[in-house]
Amino acid sequence: MVSQASAEIRYSGGAQNGASGASLGGVMSNYGLSAQSMTPLEPISGVFLVDSVGNATGAGTIGYTASTGVLSWFMSGGAVGLGIIPTIDGRYAIPGSGSEYLVVDVVLSALPTVDTAAEVTIGNLDSSLLPDTFEAVTDYHCFYVYCFEAVSNVTLKLRQPTQQDSLSFGLDPAGTNVTAQTLALATDVPVGVSFNSADIVVGNMVAGGRVALWIKRTTVEADIIKADLEVCGE
């Protein structure tokens, strides 16, 4: 399985969407599955929030000390951590005082020239791949695989349910690094998608690359299906 630092599965449905039920194609979300929401996404000039791990919900504070180059973080109700000193443009984890941390992308040339602190509000997202349903239905949801760095031999694996339901998936025909089609309703059928249960071989993906896929779900009444999508690569 590819590490979270290399690639992640993101919702579709707009840049701020964090719910699987609204993941009906269109613009890729800034949020990945199992992520916490973070607002704003660029709290300090040159610091872009990527992920929040283990943080309490509510307002925390990210700080930058210009004289030392230290980036620090403390979550709501927490204490400030030791901080980090970015030395090159890239991705960093800023620890809090415990096991919590923020993942950020840093552009050194854009960092402030004076000491700066900013509030970051952390929230919880719906981290399920598919929304719950309690009725017999065939529906479709779109997700993106987004690569933070180049990944070779990307393969997608969809774990099949053990209930009476069925799952299949397929790539959006738009291809890589473009925006997928949008459905008005989850029960609408995406055009041009070939669905099957076999692993999907995407191939090599560049840093910043993305590819959209659709999951087709057919459920029986009063049965809830859970699915697991795995990204493999080198």
CA 151 – CA 233 distance, rounded (Å):
6
Kind and range of the H or E run holding 212? strand 210-219
Query: For 100-112, what is each residue's pLDDT tens digit?
Result: 888 888 999 999 9
- Which residue in 154, 148, 152 sits closest to 209, CA to CA? 148
Residue-level pLDDT at 118? 97
pLDDT at residue 123 is higher than 80: yes
pLDDT, tens digit (0-9, with 9 covering 90-100), for 39-90: 888 999 999 988 887 889 999 999 999 999 999 999 999 999 989 999 999 8
Q: Where do the domains of the chain lie?
A: 7-33+127-232, 36-124
Contacts of 8 (CB under 8 A, 6+ apart): 32, 33, 145, 146, 148, 231
- The mean pLDDT value for 3-32 works out to 84
% pLDDT > 90, the chain: 53
Confirm whether pTM is higher than 0.85.
Answer: no
pLDDT recorded at residue 224: 52
DSSP assignment letter at 39? E
For residue 5, the model assigns a pLDDT of: 54
Query: What is the reported pLDDT for 220?
Result: 73
Calpha distance 92→154 (Å, rounded): 24
pLDDT, residue 54, reads 83
Q: Give the HSE-up count for residue 180: Cα atoms under 13 Å, Cβ half-sphere.
A: 32
Q: What confidence tier does 149 reach under pLDDT thresholds 50, 70, 90?
A: confident
Burial class from Cβ neighbours inside 10 Å (0-12, 13-18, 19+) for residue 231 reads buried
170 forms beta bridges with: 214
| Of the listed ranges 131-140, 189-198, 211-220, the one predicted with least confidence | 131-140
Strand segments, DSSP code E, in 96-187 are 101-106, 116-124, 137-147, 151-159, 166-176
pLDDT bin (cut points 50, 70, 90) of residue 190 is very high
Cα–Cα distances in angstroms (integers) from residue 65 to residues 62, 96, 117, 129, in the given order: 10, 16, 9, 39
Extract long-range pairs of 88-95: CB within 8 Å, 24+ residues apart: 91/5, 91/50, 91/148, 94/62
The structure tokens listed for 18 are 């964090």
pLDDT given for residue 6 in this prediction:
77
Each residue's pLDDT tens digit, 163-189: 556 889 999 999 999 999 999 999 999
CA–CA distance from 53 to each of 81, 91, 136, 224, 231 (Å)? Answer: 14, 15, 35, 28, 20
Identify the DSSP state of 108: G
* pLDDT score recorded for residue 2: 53
Considering only CA atoms, which of 124, 128, 15 is closest in space to residue 76?
A: 124
Confidence of residue 230 (pLDDT cuts 50, 70, 90): confident
User: Which of the residue ranges 5-9, 72-76, 95-99, 146-150 has the most confident prediction, judged by mean pLDDT?
Assistant: 72-76
Q: Measured between alpha carbons, how far is 34 from 94 in angstroms, rounded to an integer?
A: 19
Distance CA 225, CA 20 (A): 13
